[in-house]
Chain A
Amino acid sequence: MTVTRAPADALSVLDRPNSYIGKTVPRPNLDRLLQGRGQYVSDLELPRMAHVVFLRSPHAHAKIAAIDADAARRMPGVVSIVTGRELEAVITPWVGVLSHLKGLKSAPQHAIAVDRVCWQGEAVAAIVATSRAAAEDAMEHISVDYEELEAVTDMRAALDPAALVIHAALGDNLAFERTLDAGDVDHALSGSELVEADFVFGRHTGVTLESRAVVADWNAAEARLTIYQGTQAPHMVQNIAALHLGLREAQVRVVCKDVGGSFGIKVHIYADEMATYALSKLLRRPVKFVADRVESFNTDIHARDHRCRGRIGVRPDGTITAFEIDDLTGIGPYSMYPRTSAIEANQVVNLVGGPYATANYRARARVVFQNKNVMCQYRAVGHPIACSVTEGLVDLAAAKIGMDPVEIRRRNLIADDAYPCASPSGMKFEQLSHHASLTKLLQMMDYDALRAEQAALRARNVHRGIGIASFIEVTNPSAAFYGVGGAKISSQDGVAVRLDAQGSVICQTSITEQGQGSESLTAQIVGSVLGVSMERVRVILGDTDHTPYGGGTWASRGAGIGGEAALQAAKALRQNILNVAAAILQSTPAELDIVDNGIVNAADGAPRIELNELARIVYFRPDTLPPGIQPELMATRHFVPRQYPFAFTNGVQASWLEVDTETGFVKLLKHWVVEDCGTIINPQLVDEQIRGGVVQGLGAALFEKCIYDERGQLTNANMADYLVPMSGEMPDIEVGHVVSPTQESELGAKGAGEAGTAGAAAAVANAVNDALRPLDATITEIPLTPQVILSALGRI
């Protein structure tokens, strides 16, 4: 690990004896999950619970002329069948816009379609029955009379004046447009070599192991709704559910225990989930909805459906003079609620060219409506597009002037001592480490030896390629992401820590756990700062009744924001404990320390009093304390970054692969990542976040794509035809670190959850093009399927 800069206050709180920071410790929740004692919503059973199944539109666009559910209502086990019109009485529609995304428009969306369906898979009626099977049986007996309408499917055609306007009241199909012009692009390009390419990205989706699941339980006696849901943002769900059901937030409790993967899929508000809350209120009983796999493919948000024209200017000495992009993306018929579907394109504009010192940058992004499933934020929002376009252009520029891809990066990446600085799109960088990362990467992969091996194999007609991709990643978002646009999504998080009567610690945090290790990192921080062993720290999360208010876990914010709140809360509790200890021991807090669950002398470490003894005195014999002492063995702190809108991280990835030029199949041989997420709390958790993220990026590069036909039918909505990356095709992924802690927090941690996904596809695409360079083929489309590669090679 290379540390580029030590923080001013040299990790005083963290760098303590027995610190867990920077150590790989087993995750405290592993036993629970491995012994099958996880609390997943999919497994939840409540008394009188009914199950809802949604009848979904088979058409991409159609008027609903009539729904006949009489026969279905008479089927055994059916509790109720509810249409969109009927549900309107309990829940109001919503519009997915935010004020800081100027000009973004969308149409009101209903929990269940009213009069018209706008994508294949939109819910048309809810069938509530005593079991899912009974509901599915009844569903077959509902007949819906549809009048099919023209479907707008191709995003390029959506803006054609002749195209049907999906929401007539909006005037056209353009949901959002953003332009940016920084520096002087025309002037910069006029004296440069120009390279252009069209980058095409396949629409894909998150495929969580546990599908979306919710149990809504309206308790009429308490006038309270309890929502058990696998979500990343419980307080956001609380706010939205209350808003649209006409309740106060205090009337809604959201409980979110274990979640089987999320990847951004579960940070949104879905119509069928809203319908489930409303059905529980309507029917006054618990109602459960668990999406099945086909529904997941048809309704979980999709992402990355972009076509982006990119241009780069380069001088013969390798100086990159300008970037220019024109991005187009189709988001389905509605902007998703409440985070909107303009964020991805907005991020693309923000991030293209980000690692480079180039000041001239022009961009346009257009976001259009179409009759396909909704698109929204998925792991590494916008980053893979921006990174693939940027890094693809940089490699094309290098090829054009005959320069090594590493050399052109060395000459253009922002210097490690140039910080703080800002990108042409206005992104503020506190401290990045592109050059240190690249140097480390080249060492890890033994770049020169690999190039030699590649050359030797080429002579034997074996085509291997090396692809490099530098990237930046948005983490630790402040209110600039959503709050400023009017979304009630908290950017601050809170942690409460208390010492119990036997000297153990209970910690309530507003961040959530979906497998990343939030519980572990919170316990590591609290244990380290307090001087208490981790087994004594119990972390409670995922319950709006029992945790502080906060944002949850998304946008790589859990460790950086929730972790800092945990650190500050633990620090405050530690001070409180030392104050009491000083009173008991007739000493001063400064002379004491907490080590290994006991108070010791700061100077020589001699044990003074165990924490359990201190707690006993405080809770049961406060009469023995000196007069005037009121011990406070609970402390709460909140944190939100204020100085920088985002804590940018950076890194670089490399791919080594072989292309079978006869069959078009790609074999991934090895992948390397060097990343800089600041302070590393648990190296194994960071490495596995990186690896998992890389795998999702490799999926995008080679396999994953939601294939729609021209009528807007999703034709591969199952696990056999939608190809998720599997272990058999994955290479070994080596991860290295450079550490530049952020100064905005004492912890110094930035996020690591999306870095892997951000750059993996770009590295693979560059490697494939590197392999194919002697054959004069360039491909700027993913997934890189055998069909795409063979076509590019002119074999078929």
Chain B
Amino acid sequence: MKAAAFAYARATSVVNALELLAMHGDKAKVLSGGQSLMPAMNLRLLSPDILVDIGGLAELRGITVRGDLLVIGALTRHVDLLRSPEVALHARLLRDAVAHVAHPAIRNRGTIGGSLAHADPASELPACVVALDATIVVRGSAGERRITATEFFRGIYETALLPDELLVAVEVPVAGQASTFFFQEYARRHGDYAVVGLAARAVVAAGRFSALRLGFFAVGDRPLLAAAAGKLIDATVTPALLAEAAAALADELDPQEDQQATAAMRRHLATVLLRRCVAALLARPELETGVGK
């Protein structure tokens, strides 16, 4: 279990990193926290000719508020999300979610840019940025592009990033006073990738949802912004309506089967999460047990 030999370059600036990427094309790989890349290389699932290490680029660090955007640099580590007062204030969902990402040793190294670029469909952060309606900022030799989160994820480990582009930041709309969040996942063990998970943002007024974004993960080849949420917006949520939404959700999902769960189990768990989420956000515990009994 030793990686094949590779060359290594520590980028001195974003521009330098982009030059290196342009020079080596798809033979190069960006190295961020290394928590997904290095295991894959040690298993020889990946054998890049050269690693472009962006770890020293101060330009990619930091969490700042710019107007009504929370801007998170690509090199922001999971542990930084967990501890940042700005994140706690403006995008609490990220903090709640990141506690479920792996273990402290991995959170000390893994980065948000790496997680989003890696695009594991069972990952927490991609679903969060979808639920938060965030924008992914990428830079290439031709300049900067802004891609909405829903457009960014294209499939298993597939994104809108081109081989010579760098993910530089994530822009998250600052949560208004009225926003509430829900995060829950079912994983076999603490820190494992989820069997099914849900990251949600909502605005609740007078017992009804005026906005509801449900970002499911591990239910398909990419994080899914559930259209079924639409049924619950601006409506009085009854057990019957919730059941209808759950049925719509099950239809909408196209989950994969793997060692943890069949497609049917993933559909089932997603509907359980939906009910628990709605019950929690509306503070109506009775809704939780309304379906499937």
> Once the chains bind, are B265 and A796 in contact (CB under 8 Å)?
yes
Give the contacting residue for B265; candidates A132, A140, A790; CB below 8 A: A790
Q: What 0/1 pattern do residues 164 to 193 of B give for CB contact below 8 A with A?
A: 000000000000000000000010111111
Give the contacting residue for A294; candidates B1, B3, B268; CB below 8 A: B1
> Once the chains bind, are A137 and B4 in contact (CB under 8 Å)?
yes
Q: A294-B43, A795-B268, A796-B268 are in contact. Are A786 and B2 (CB under 8 A)?
A: no
CA distance A530 to B13 in the complex (A): 70
Which A residues are CB-close (under 8 A) to B190?
Answer: 726, 728-729
> Once the chains bind, are A707 and B262 in contact (CB under 8 Å)?
no
CA distance A665 to B44 in the complex (A): 34
Q: A663-B269, A796-B265 are in contact. Are A715 and B2 (CB under 8 A)?
A: no
Chain A, 279-327, CB within 8 A of any chain B CB: 292-294
Which B residues are CB-close (under 8 A) to A664?
Answer: 265
CA distance A664 to B186 in the complex (A): 10
> Once the chains bind, are A795 and B292 in contact (CB under 8 Å)?
yes
Q: Is B261 part of the binding interface, using a Cβ–Cβ cutoff of 8 Å?
A: yes
Q: Is A703 part of the binding interface, using a Cβ–Cβ cutoff of 8 Å?
A: yes
Per DSSP, are chain B's interface residues mostly helix, strand or loop, or mixed?
loop
> Could you tell me the distance in whole angstroms from the C-beta of B203 to the nearest C-beta in chain A?
27
Q: What 0/1 pattern do residues 1 to 34 of B give for CB contact below 8 A with A?
A: 1111100000000000000000000000000000
CA distance A392 to B253 in the complex (A): 38
Which B residues are CB-close (under 8 A) to A294?
Answer: 1, 43
> Once the chains bind, are B269 and A136 in contact (CB under 8 Å)?
no
Q: What 0/1 pattern do residues 137 to 175 of A give for CB contact below 8 A with B?
A: 100100000000000000000000000000000000000
> Could you tell me the distance in whole angstroms from the C-beta of A230 to the nearest C-beta in chain B?
18
Q: Is A721 part of the binding interface, using a Cβ–Cβ cutoff of 8 Å?
A: yes
Q: Is B108 part of the binding interface, using a Cβ–Cβ cutoff of 8 Å?
A: no
Q: Is B260 part of the binding interface, using a Cβ–Cβ cutoff of 8 Å?
A: yes
CA distance A685 to B191 in the complex (A): 30
> Once the chains bind, are A790 and B268 in contact (CB under 8 Å)?
yes
Q: A461-B289, A795-B268, A796-B265 are in contact. Are A723 and B188 (CB under 8 A)?
A: yes
> Could you tell me the distance in whole angstroms from the C-beta of B67 to the nearest C-beta in chain A?
40
Which B residues are CB-close (under 8 A) to A718?
Answer: 43
> Once the chains bind, are A796 and B1 in contact (CB under 8 Å)?
no
Q: What 0/1 pattern do residues 213 to 231 of B give for CB contact below 8 A with A?
A: 0000000000000000000
> Once the chains bind, are B2 and A716 in contact (CB under 8 Å)?
no
Q: A662-B272, A721-B259, A787-B261 are in contact. Are A729 and B289 (CB under 8 A)?
A: no
CA distance A795 to B269 in the complex (A): 10
Which A residues are CB-close (under 8 A) to B241?
Answer: none
Q: Is A422 part of the binding interface, using a Cβ–Cβ cutoff of 8 Å?
A: no
Chain B, 247-293, CB within 8 A of any chain A CB: 259-262, 264-265, 268-269, 272, 289, 292
Chain A, 717-745, CB within 8 A of any chain B CB: 718, 720-721, 723, 725-726, 728-729
Which B residues are CB-close (under 8 A) to A293?
Answer: 1
- Residue in A294, A664, A725 with the greatest tally of chain B CB atoms within 10 Å: A664
> Could you tell me the distance in whole angstroms from the C-beta of B105 to the nearest C-beta in chain A?
13
Q: Is A133 part of the binding interface, using a Cβ–Cβ cutoff of 8 Å?
A: yes
Nearest B residue to A295 via CB reads B1
> Could you tell me the distance in whole angstroms from the C-beta of A533 to the nearest C-beta in chain B?
40
- Chain A interfacial residues counted at CB < 8 A: 31
> Could you tell me the distance in whole angstroms from the C-beta of B41 to the nearest C-beta in chain A?
12
Count of chain A to chain B residue pairs whose CB atoms are closer than 8 Å in the complex: 65
> Could you tell me the distance in whole angstroms from the C-beta of B243 to the nearest C-beta in chain A?
14
Which A residues are CB-close (under 8 A) to B264?
Answer: 796
Chain A, 447-467, CB within 8 A of any chain B CB: 461
> Once the chains bind, are A786 and B292 in contact (CB under 8 Å)?
no
Which B residues are CB-close (under 8 A) to A786?
Answer: 186, 188, 195, 260-261, 265
CA distance A292 to B1 in the complex (A): 6
Which A residues are CB-close (under 8 A) to B292?
Answer: 662, 795
Q: What 0/1 pattern do residues 776 to 796 of A give for CB contact below 8 A with B?
A: 000000000111001000011
Give the contacting residue for B5; candidates A132, A137, A715, A787; CB below 8 A: A137
Which B residues are CB-close (under 8 A) to A721?
Answer: 259
Which A residues are CB-close (under 8 A) to B268?
Answer: 790, 795-796
Q: A663-B272, A726-B189, A728-B189 are in contact. Are A716 and B259 (CB under 8 A)?
A: yes
> Could you tell me the distance in whole angstroms from the C-beta of A77 to the nearest C-beta in chain B?
11
> Could you tell me the distance in whole angstroms from the C-beta of B33 to the nearest C-beta in chain A?
17
Nearest A residue to B291 via CB reads A662
> Could you tell me the distance in whole angstroms from the C-beta of B85 to the nearest C-beta in chain A?
27
Which B residues are CB-close (under 8 A) to A133?
Answer: 2-3, 5
- Residue in B189, B260, B272, B292 with the greatest tally of chain A CB atoms within 10 Å: B189
CA distance A292 to B43 in the complex (A): 10
Chain B, 112-160, CB within 8 A of any chain A CB: none
Which A residues are CB-close (under 8 A) to B2?
Answer: 132-133, 136
CA distance A292 to B2 in the complex (A): 9
> Could you tell me the distance in whole angstroms from the C-beta of A710 to the nearest C-beta in chain B?
14
CA distance A137 to B3 in the complex (A): 9
Nearest A residue to B4 via CB reads A137
CA distance A663 to B188 in the complex (A): 11
Which A residues are CB-close (under 8 A) to B195?
Answer: 786
> Once the chains bind, are B186 and A663 in contact (CB under 8 Å)?
yes
> Could you tell me the distance in whole angstroms from the C-beta of B107 to the nearest C-beta in chain A?
14
> Once the chains bind, are B189 and A703 in contact (CB under 8 Å)?
yes
Which B residues are CB-close (under 8 A) to A787?
Answer: 260-262, 265
> Could you tell me the distance in whole angstroms from the C-beta of A705 to the nearest C-beta in chain B?
9
> Could you tell me the distance in whole angstroms from the C-beta of B284 to the nearest C-beta in chain A?
16
Nearest B residue to A723 via CB reads B188
> Could you tell me the distance in whole angstroms from the C-beta of A746 to the nearest C-beta in chain B?
45
Nearest A residue to B263 via CB reads A796
CA distance A132 to B261 in the complex (A): 37
CA distance A796 to B289 in the complex (A): 16
CA distance A662 to B3 in the complex (A): 43
Which B residues are CB-close (under 8 A) to A729?
Answer: 189-190
CA distance A725 to B289 in the complex (A): 30
* Sample of 16 more A-B contacts, CB < 8 Å, known A292-B1, A796-B265: A132-B2, A133-B3, A133-B5, A137-B5, A140-B4, A140-B44, A293-B1, A664-B265, A703-B189, A716-B259, A723-B192, A726-B189, A726-B191, A729-B190, A786-B260, A787-B261
A-B interface, 8 closest residue pairs, ranked by CB to CB distance from nearest? A728-B190, A292-B1, A133-B2, A796-B264, A662-B272, A796-B268, A796-B265, A726-B189
A-B contacts, 22 of them at CB < 8 A, read: A133-B3, A133-B5, A137-B5, A140-B4, A293-B1, A663-B269, A663-B272, A703-B188, A703-B189, A707-B259, A718-B43, A723-B188, A726-B189, A726-B190, A726-B191, A729-B190, A786-B186, A786-B188, A787-B262, A787-B265, A790-B268, A796-B268
